[in-house]
Each structure stands twice: as structure tokens, then as C-alpha cells.
Amino acid sequence: MGPFEIAAIAIIGGLAYSAYEVHMKTKTKAGKADIEALQAEIARLKERVGTLETIVTDKSYQLKEQINKL
């Protein structure tokens, strides 16, 4: 392996490493936005589930269900 081949491998390796660093930085930034969006969606869903639990555990709802079964 000659000196030109070693230099070419070093340059290609350096460029590949730089590209990898840029990729990881942009991936992390996009990940934070996605995480925040998912956390907001989870909060909305928890609120909806709480509302549904309130409706289902309400005695008048249970009475309506029993009447409908008859």
C-alpha cells in the first residue's frame, strides 16, 4: 500500500466521520421535537381517558346501560 492510498483512506475516513457527526446532531434535534409532540399527545389522551372514566363510572350511565340491556 503506497502513500497515496493511505492518504486517500485517511481523507475518506475523515469525511465519513464528519458526515456521521452532522447526521447525529440533526437526528438529536429532530428527536427532541418529536418527543415534545408525543408528550403533548399523551397528555391530551390522558385527559380524554379521565373524562371517559368519569362518564362510565357515573351512576346514571350505568343505569342507562342496564335499561338498554333489557
Nearest to 3 by CA among 17, 47, 11: 11
Please count the CA atoms within 13 angstroms of the CA of 68 that sit on its side-chain side: 6
Specify the number of domains making up the chain: 1
Res. 21: pLDDT tops 70: yes
pLDDT one-digit tens code per residue, 25-58: 887 676 777 888 899 999 999 999 999 888 888 8
Q: Would you state the pLDDT for residue 30?
A: 65
Q: Would you state the pLDDT for residue 42?
A: 96
Domain of 40 in residue numbering reads as 3-69
